[in-house]
Amino acid sequence: MEQLQSALECHNLTVSTVPEKGRSLFVTRDFYPGEVIICQEPYVCVPNNSSSSQVRCDGCFTATNLRKCSRCRVVWYCGSTCQKSEWKLHRLECEAFSRLDMDKRQFVTPSIRLMLKLYIRRKLQSEKIILSTAMDNYDLVQALVAHMSEITEEQLVLYAQMANLVHLILQWPEINIKEIAEIFSKFACNAHTISDSELRPLGTGLYPVISIINHSCLPNSVLVFEGRSASVRAVQHVPKGTEVFISYIETAGSTMTRQKALNEQYLFTCTCPRCSKVGQYDDIQESAILEGYRCKNEKCDGFLLRTTDGKGFQCQQCGVARDTEEIKKIANELRSLSEEEASKLSSTGNYQEAIFIYEVIEKLQTKLYHPFSIWLMQTRDKILKSLMELERWSEALAYCKLTIPVYQRVYPAVHPLLGLQYYTCGKLEWYLGETEEAVKSLTKAVDTLRITHGTKTPFMKKLLMKLEEARAEASYKQSSTEE
């Protein structure tokens, strides 16, 4: 702990223990929007390679020019550079895989590989083959919380089965199954999904120092990735002495929905300023808007609460009541439609068929839910993505514009998802020749994403160049009109 504290001092950070939260990360100077608070390389990480996902390089997570390791036939690399950089770790993993029958190797999941790589890295660091530092050592993994006493018996059995498989693959007598099971529990609470600049998941990594950062549904920082490197950036002024917070979950949802997600995945109850309002009128109103029903009067955008007799719901703005049976009827129709089927169609390239199902779902959701419903927003997002795959730009833009007001309501002004939605809108407007509107949308995207992503990543350089090109085109059009 002393070594870690000394290392963090150089980054103007310190770790303190907070009652009921444990270790927490604090800043020792002011940080401002867009500043990097901390960066960390993963202790271990793996791409999400499976039979149902795109295969990626083990070194850089790219999906192009890939070749399998010629010996184990499990791991992929984009070239000799990544293969050489990973060889110290993969050499022992490769030997372990080679002892398995070929048909069994395909059942080695990313989670199993993450555990294998963790034990191999621990071994290589103990033998001084891989360097240990104050911010990169196994002691930091040991210090992570496992919540073993709080997980279900079903989960314990699963971890034990996975631990047995790891033990079988490695065949190292010095490791024990109980310890492996406990580390799997640590993964569940502490590992992070590695995403690209557009927040598409690429893999999973363990970042032991970043895992010290606690959750808030109103965070002052955001976690983003550049390749495998994780960066925590301030999204607002973080005064000296303030605790650093990120969000562990999707925060677009009611307090009840967020609390459920946090309890199930991370085994704690959030007490952030947003969650502390639970049961208050403002919180009830927000829940009714985000996850409740719409007013029967189509011209009214009021929210509904259950009537005192429990037989229906009443609009809190115009007073019009809505019968429970009518709501049940539409809800039953929605349940009869398979979003899972639409998702499968989309993932296999059958976008038109997926759009057909999603549009039927959207029509029913429009009748049932409030216009700012997160369920309706998510359905429209899925239609938008499928329309873009089919290059139906005009329809895609119409759907994108429907989602923007909801994004603006459910996310803070500086949030990567809001910035990315502005970016999508700007791209579509530019494709369709709406240059002035594209400049406005791309400017909003840059204003948000330069804080959450910085300006030096390939993605941000591309976005900034796109904005400059759109501005030049708009200026040219304006001067041509004036002539």
Q: For residue 248, which of 228, 227, 272 has the smallest C-alpha distance?
A: 272
pLDDT at 103: 86
Q: Residue 478 has what pLDDT?
A: 80
Quick one: pLDDT at residue 483?
A: 59
Tokens standing for residue 418: 């809001």
Task: Output the pLDDT for position 2.
Answer: 86
What's the pLDDT at 337? 87
Spatial CB neighbours of 285, under 8 Å, sequence gap ≥ 6: 303, 316
Rounded to 10°, the helix 393-410/374-389 angle is 150
What single DSSP character describes residue 242? Answer: P
**Per-residue pLDDT averaged across 185-201, rounded?**
96
Per-residue pLDDT at 133 exceeds 70: yes
User: Which residue intervals of 55-152 are DSSP H helices?
Assistant: 80-98, 102-105, 110-126, 138-142
Residue 261 has pLDDT above 70, yes or no: yes
pLDDT score recorded for residue 482: 64
- Residue-averaged pLDDT of the chain: 94
Q: Mean per-residue pLDDT for 428-453? A: 97
In the predicted model, is pLDDT for residue 308 greater than 70? yes
DSSP state of 296: S
Stated pTM of the model: 0.93
Please give the single-letter amino acid code of residue 306. Answer: R
Number of H helices, E strands in the chain: 17, 15
Q: Angle between the 110-126 and 153-170 helix axes, to the nearest 10 degrees?
A: 60
Whether the per-residue pLDDT at 52 is higher than 70: the answer is no
In percent, the amount of the chain with pLDDT more than 90 equals 89
DSSP string, 343-378: HHHHHTT-HHHHHHHHHHHHHHHHHHB-TT-HHHHH
Domains of the chain: 1-42+207-261 (2.170.270.10), 43-192 (no CATH), 279-402 (1.25.40.10), 411-482 (1.25.40.10)
